[in-house]
Amino acid sequence: MAPRRQDSGGKRPGAARSGSVMNFRTTVSSGSVRRSSAVLPSVLTFLVIVASGGLLLMIEKGMLNSLDTPPPRGSGRRLDSMRQPGKHSSAAVDVESQILQEIRNRTIRTMCSQKNMPHSIWSLSPLQRKTLLQHVLVNDEYHFLYCYVPKVACSNWKRVLKVLNGALESVDVNIKMDHRSDLLFLSSLKPEEIRYRLKHYFKFMFVREPMERLLSAYRNKFGEIESYQKKYGVEIIKRYRKGRAKDSSVRGDDVTFAEFVRYLLDEDVERMNEHWMPVYNLCQPCAVSYDFIGSYEHLESDAEFVLQRIGAPPYVHFPERQTWYKPVTTETLHYYLCSLPQKLLRELLPKYILDFSLFTYPLPNTTTEHCRH
């Protein structure tokens, strides 16, 4: 993904530990909790309140598997209208993702109806709105808006958009993705044009387990991309590595995950690079009422659903995973999270708490007991 100009590569001394936690705090708690690690309990309390309103936030696979009748209501999903019937996964997966959709839908509605949450893009701050509009892609022929989230299959969606607008012959054309060209962003439209499209178009986005997305960004950017090593890596090492070598010899290519997390803790979520900015801040799911929020965990079937829903022609399919793609496995994630000092993790989770709670991902289990395995 190309580096973007909007982010602040540098230091922001005063901005530490605010962001989504701040948002959340102003929404749900009037207490005077200062430090983010201390905010977590109140967030959990809130989740319990939401849960007691009939919502099951922390769903477990086992529970879903034991259900056999899908509730026929709600979120616009159905089992019978796949464009290629039979091609896609078993009914069990469909049931699971339908229930997930329903829970996610109701959670978002409940949490976004809180008084202090934004209810329209015009009530966002100029910076928040700018970030959002720069992440929403427009297709006027098929009447949809797609909020792209880096590290959640966004290159593949951009390919699909380019095929739909005729800029690319097929999603499988073997070229390096240009993340700007031949794409229309909401940010380049006038307010009334934006208003019209938000009101009438089909709006969707995709989400992913927050820590998995972070790890994926870390491994890709600091492991492979020199411009990121230079821009962020050098800075991170200078700030957080004790007894580092002389400045001129810092290459920024060996940032550890713990150093990366320390850096995240000191960054303002609203000014982060888009690869690690919380999805909440990129796509503003309270200010924009998305019609569909797909999961990376059900990428194929959710993408197929969207393509069908927007009326994409049958030759347009969602690209297969690239052969060079290195997935973040459960084991890898477990390894990285468990090797992080507990204190860092306790401070990190609140920064991404809205991504966990709105999109209904359970918080990772990093008890010593669990990490021993």
Ligand X SMILES: *[C@@H]1O[C@H](CO)[C@@H](O)[C@H](O)[C@H]1NC(C)=O
Minimum CB separation of residue 293 from ligand X in Å reads 5
Site map 89..108 versus ligand X, x via CB under 6 A: ------------x---x---
Pairing of strands 202-207, 184-185: unpaired
Containing H/E element for 220? Answer: helix 210-224
Nearer to ligand X, 101 or 229 (CB): 101
Nearer to ligand X, 195 or 309 (CB): 309
Site map 72..91 versus ligand X, x via CB under 6 A: --xxx---------------
Among 200, 238, 239, 370, binds ligand X (CB under 6 A): 370
SS3 call for 4: coil
Nearer to ligand X, 228 or 290 (CB): 290
Site for ligand X in 348-367 (CB under 6 A): 365, 367
Containing H/E element for 273? Answer: none
Minimum CB separation of residue 222 from ligand X in Å reads 29
Q: How many Å from the N-terminal Cα to the C-terminal Cα in the chain?
A: 35
Nearer to ligand X, 105 or 284 (CB): 105
Among 47, 237, 293, 353, binds ligand X (CB under 6 A): 293
| Cα–Cα separations (whole angstroms), residue 208 to 103, 234, 278, 281 | 16, 28, 11, 14
Among 292, 318, 336, 356, binds ligand X (CB under 6 A): 292
Alpha-carbon torsion (27, 29, 31, 37), positive or negative: negative
Q: Which stretch binds ligand X (CB under 6 A): 34-42, 81-89, 226-234, 288-296?
A: 288-296
Pairing of strands 144-147, 136-139: antiparallel
Site map 115..154 versus ligand X, x via CB under 6 A: ----------------------------------------
Asked whether position 295 contacts ligand X by CB under 6 A, the answer is no
- The CA-based angle 303-328-229, given to 5 degrees, is 105
| Cα–Cα separations (whole angstroms), residue 240 to 75, 216, 257 | 45, 21, 12
* Residue number closest to ligand X, CB atom: 370
Nearer to ligand X, 147 or 163 (CB): 147
The set of residues, in sequence order, having a beta carbon less than 8 Å from that of 366 and lying 6+ positions away, is 337, 338, 340, 342, 345
1-32 burial code (b ≥16 CB/10 A, e <16): bebeeebeeeeeeeeebbbbbbbbbebbeeee
Nearer to ligand X, 71 or 223 (CB): 71
Nearer to ligand X, 4 or 334 (CB): 334
Q: Which residue has the tokens 């099951």?
A: 56
Note the residues at the interface with ligand X (CB under 6 A). Answer: 74-76, 101, 105, 290-293, 365, 367, 369-370
